[in-house]
Structure 1
Amino acid sequence: MLTKYEKDFLKKIPLTKIAHVEPFNPKAKKMGEKIVEKLTSLFPNLDILFMGSTPLEISGKNDIDIYVLSPKEDFNKYLPVLEEAFGKAKSIHETFVEWEFTKNNFEVEVYLTEPPEQQIKIFNILKSDKKLLREYENIKKSYNGKSYREYQRAKYEFYHRILPTDARDFLGKVVEVIMDRPLRSKHPKHGFEYEANYGYIPNTKSPDGEELDAYYLGTDKPLKRAKGICIAVIHRTNDDDDKLVIVPKGVRLTDEEIDKQTRFQEQWFEHEIIRK
């Protein structure tokens, strides 16, 4: 499922624009590394990231995308130095400033920006997983000479497939839960009894690589699968494995009631309950 920002961005891409995907050029990576060295010498206390297809050494545009990370309230501190190095900024926004230029026939984009968390996650996943990296490269290559809008859509869909699902995105939404641990069943390893229906949301991915887990509360019957509304997220602060809290339509529970009904398992974890 694409975000509203992604859908809006796709609409802005002209239908006539064509994707051009070229083999990786090592010279582009060397040029990017030189720019990073220059920026590191200018800002030794800031994180400088070189991301995109070029540092991953895969097919693409052989463009150079570099990110200078800073809180937005400090942008004015670094802006004059960057303008002296790269000229006047192409555009200035609330959360980032952009420079765009060509160097040795390579397109370069430099951003003074707050950390682009999603892009960083995607880059690190691809950098550490060669199989996914090759799959991503093959997707890019398959759109060479085709619609740039569809090329970008395919990339967005790939990103969503490899990124862990954010549990908070489900707050207030109707979802279906498949119960692999129904009410009063036993935990296969630890032997405790499930005092609530417990299962997972199909076609999701949690940080541990499995589907996103969910408690289905508000019923006293064991269930195999059921639809309901996500009223809360149990965010584990000492474990990267958030849980959805799903209830039948019309059921309302306080935080205290959620804590009580999930204590049989959540007592072992520090957590907080997040609402919309």
Structure 2
Amino acid sequence: MVHNRELDPSASPLDYYGAELRRYREAAGMKQAQLGSCVFCTGSLIGMIEKARRVPTRDFSERVDAALDTGGFFSRLVGLVLRSQLPTWFQAYAEMEARAGCISTFQAQLIYGLLQTPAYARAVLGARSDGDLDGKVAARLDRQRILDREDPPLMWVVMGEAALYQEIGGRDVMREQLAHLLVLQEREWVNVQILPFEAGAHAGLDGSFTLLRFDDGHDMLYTEDLVQGHMTANPQALKRGSLRYDLLQAAALSVEDSAARIARVMEERYGHHPAHDGRGVA
């Protein structure tokens, strides 16, 4: 049981969610353990969420809405909660990303966030983030909901081949991640191209960047440095970014050849191969 402490509902979306969860639960005459039983979790977890010590998921919120008959209140609120778990400087970009009609990104060393599996995202965020890792992973995965919309954005991803070989989270995590890329490639609006090692010097040596294009005709360029991200709609910056992206696409393998390269690396580097003593290794 988490000891009661007063929350300031205006402090953050997470605090507001916790305060409202407690209010709805008590109005229903339920103890934390009773509500936990209804939504398939422990009463302790209910208490931690009510005290803003754990970040709720969309699945949890949907179950709470059903159990407390809230009319979908928590399912609507959880989006704000998850967005607030993103770095402050990243939140504005995430909002623009969700509105974009086309996303074109170059990723030098990592799988793009919208294409990451939960295990890969956890390994990446765990290596460079402090605080509530569960909340940060949930927030990153929540961004991926735009890919499942009825009218999802067109996505072009050019990814350095190094991202396939950088072993993030271990062999099993990488195999699952590369398999996930191949599944996503089957969606007509998701296109992944691999920039192979043999391309040599290329237009993306300065680092990763993303171009967002919107249905109203305006574009935006997003880059990151060690400290934070930067968005700009400066025409000259957009022109340079678009040229670099075109050059990267031209140097990258075709979508079909990229899928073959991903499959080859998945099997050769992360497949299950017999060891010299005859035992299997993962």
TM-score for both structures, normalised by structure 1:
0.28
Bigger proportion of residues as helix: 2
Larger radius of gyration: 1
TM-score for both structures, normalised by structure 2:
0.28
